[in-house]
Amino acid sequence: MMERSRLVFSGSGGQGIITASIILAEAAVIYENKNAIQSQSYGAAARGGSTRSDVIIDDTEIFFPKVVQPNILISLTQESYNKFASIIRPGGLLLVDSKYVAVEKKVDAVHINLPMYDTVMKEIGKPIVFNICVLGALIGVSKLIKPDSILKVLETTIAEDFMDMNKKALDLGFEMGEKLRG
């Protein structure tokens, strides 16, 4: 039985952080037969300010749907990192993008600092798939779910013409994450 995974995705409105969190949770539920819940902050903060999306994945039933102490925190802006780094569960995993976040605080967590944005821009040139690269890195390092399950969700939600680009972004992220895993 897997340990309950509590994730907080944080970043800025428009980075696709909420979309990424929904894709992850949907893939876990529909293609890996797990339970998952996704919820997000609504309001003015979702339009350019710092956004937050909570995801819980587990084999057993999930009742309280919010994440108080994430064991995985993803921060894609300095602001969101500063805001949320302190809530991470001791020994948890912190995933940040090296272009956007300078890690300052010392929190008890495994720090994963990857050039996801720069890699996407260099290899693909389209920032729109940045979030999928982040998702790839996340599952590469955490093995939460299989990349195939993410691809299956993407196939049902995006136009065929964009699949190659998304698959490439997912692979780039996955490789970066997996490498760190060693």
Partner 1 sequence: MNNKNNIKFIQGNEACVEGAIYAGLDFFAGYPITPSTEIAEHLASRLPQKGGKFIQMEDEIASMGAVIGASLTGHKVMTATSGPGFSLKQEALGYACMAEIPCVIANVQRGGPSTGNPTHVSQGDINQARWGTHGDHAIIAMTASNHQDVFNITVQAFNLAETYRTPVILLLDEVIGHMREKLVIPEQGEIPVVERLRTSVKKGVDYHPYLPREDGRLPMSDFGGEHRYNVTGLFHDMWGFPSNDPKIVSELLRHLVDKIENNVNEIAMYKEYWLDDADYILISYGSSARSAVHMARNRRARGVKIGVLELQTLWPFPADIVREKCAGAKAVIVVEMNMGQVVTQVKNAVDNPHNVFLANRVDGELISPSDIKTLLRMIQGKGV
Among 114, 104, 68, CA closest to 88: 68
Give me the DSSP letters along 127-166. GGGHHHHHHHHHHHHH--S-HHHHHHHHHHHS-GGGHHHH
Number of residues written out for the chain: 182
Among 19, 39, 82, 142, binds partner 1 (CB under 8 A): 39
| 22 binding partner 1? (CB under 8 A) | yes
Pattern 67-106, binding to partner 1, x per CB under 8 A?
A: -x--------------------------------------
63 binds partner 1 (CB under 8 A): yes
Helix H or strand E segment including 173: helix 163-181
35 binds partner 1 (CB under 8 A): yes
Between residues 37 and 107, which has the closer beta carbon with respect to partner 1? 37
Q: Is 116 in the site for partner 1 (CB under 8 A)?
A: no
Nearest to 134 by CA among 49, 23, 41: 23
**Binding-site ranges for partner 1 (CB under 8 A):** 22, 25-26, 29-30, 35-40, 42-43, 62-66, 68
